Amino acid sequence: MTRNKYTARLQLYSMCIPAFILFGTFVFYPLLRGVRISFTDWNGFSQHYSFIGLDNYRKLIIDPNIRTAFINTLIYGIGSTIVQNVWGLLYALLFNRKFAGRNLVRAAVYLPVLISGLIMGYIWYFLLQYSGGALNDLLTVFGVGPIDWLAEHRRAVGLILFITSLQFVGQSMVIYLAGLQTISKSYYEAAELDGARRWSRFIHITLPLLSPAIITNVTLKLIGGLQLFDLIVALTNGGPGFSTHSFSTLINYLYFVNQNAGYSSTLGLVLFLFIMAITISVNKVLYKREVEY
């Protein structure tokens, strides 16, 4: 009996094999190669390179661009998670009401999700550029001087966050709308009988029952934000200076533009281990809670 159980368990685990072959081949094996490359000054294409010990790691610590990219990645990652979830939930509550043209509005909000972030970035440049930009044209009508929107680095980072949120908030909205549909009306009717106010109904009924949708949305947005790449490439290309780079664009810049594959690999490796460590520890906490309830 126990042996049977053991083989059954083994059989179950064997179902994971294809996935872990993929992860092994395309994630962990490259990761190990990355360790080796991180000790070299390889330029990314030449056949010659030399080992330079820990130089790349030393440089990483003092490089101010890394700090900028780190802060920006956090802003893009956590910022877009918060913004898009709050915004998307508001939309979902708003557009869950019945009104004329509701489906049209939902489709319009969702439409930008279908477009590549890269293309959206290029289009937004038409809106934001200083001379001839659509937004400045509008400002001039109201007698406000033209503004060079993307020149100031905090504003540029904020705009990138705003644009990616404006584009992808439709996704959060749809998932929350779907979540709202799973909540049975009887809960609210019961609450109304109890005389619960609107706000307290939201806090005590809607929010807890939406928690699967919240988890899905937070996960999706965190991934999207931490990996933000194409929009930045199209809108600012990391500039002015290095001020709007995320880790992804910086790694790309170091490898393919700066011809510094060794250093790029070092940065990627440290980032990989850092995010892996955070995710795993956060998950451990979450799993404990899941067990409790």
Partner 1 sequence: MKRKPKLKLIWTLIGLALALLHLMPLYIAVTVAFKKTTDLSSRWQFPSYLYWDHFKDAIATGHLLRAFGNSLILTVATATLLVLVGSVTAYPLARIKTRLSRSLMNVILGVMMIPTLSIIVPLYSMMQQFQAINTYWGIILVLTTFNLPLCIFLYANFINTIPKELDEAAKVDGCGSYRLFYQIILPQLKPVTAAVIILKGLKVWNDYEFPLYFMQKPQNQTITLAISHFFSDTSSYFGSASAAALMAVVPVVIIFLALQKNFISGLSEGAVK
Partner 2 sequence: MNKKKWFPLFVLLLLTFTTIVSACSNHSTQSESDNSSNAGTEQSSPSSSPTDSPAKELVKLNFSTNASGGTLDAYQVIVDQFNKDNPEINVEMSALGKDFNTLMTAKMANNDLPDLFSTAGWSVRRFGEYLLPLNDRSWAMQVNEQIKPTVTDGNGNLVVLPLDIDISGVVYNPEILKQLNLKAPETWDQFLTACETIKKAGYTPISVAGKDSGDIAGLMSRLSLSLLVQSNPSYKDDFDKDSFDWTHFASVTDFVSNLKKKGYLNVDVLTADKPTVYAELAKGKVAFAFQSNQTIAEVKKLNPDALISMMPLPVSDANTQPFLISGERDSVGIWKESKHPKEALIFLDYLAKSENVQKVAESYSLQAGLKGVQTNLGALQETFDQYSQAVVSNHFDRQYLPNGMFTTLGTVGSGLLSGTMDSKQVEATMKDDYDRLKKAGN
Q: How far is CA 28 from the centre of its chain?
A: 22
Q: Which residues contact 47 (CB under 8 A, 6 or more apart)?
A: none
Measured between alpha carbons, how far is 66 from 259 in angstroms, rounded to an integer?
A: 17
Smallest separation, CB 57 to partner 2 (Å): 15
166 lies in the site for partner 1, by CB under 8 A: yes
Q: How many CA atoms lie within 13 A of 27 on its CB side?
A: 9
Stretch that binds partner 2, among 180-188, 196-204, 223-231, 235-243 (CB under 8 A): 235-243
**Which of 31, 34, 259, 272 touches partner 2 by CB under 8 A?**
259
143 lies in the site for partner 2, by CB under 8 A: no
Q: How far is CA 66 from the centre of its chain?
A: 19
287 lies in the site for partner 1, by CB under 8 A: yes
Q: Tell me the number of residues near partner 1 by CB under 8 A.
A: 106
150 lies in the site for partner 2, by CB under 8 A: yes
Nearer to partner 1, 131 or 186 (CB): 131
212 lies in the site for partner 1, by CB under 8 A: yes
Count other C-beta atoms under 10 Å from residue 45's C-beta.
8
| Residue 148 buriedness (CB in 10 A; 0-12 / 13-18 / 19+) | middle
**Which of 30, 44, 112, 158 touches partner 2 by CB under 8 A?**
44
- Region for residue 132 given its phi and psi (left: phi exceeds 0; alpha: psi -120 to 50; beta: otherwise): left
Nearer to partner 1, 130 or 194 (CB): 130
**Which of 105, 240, 270, 272 touches partner 2 by CB under 8 A?**
240
Smallest separation, CB 261 to partner 1 (Å): 5
227 lies in the site for partner 2, by CB under 8 A: no
Nearer to partner 2, 62 or 291 (CB): 62
Measured between alpha carbons, how far is 65 from 202 in angstroms, rounded to an integer?
A: 43
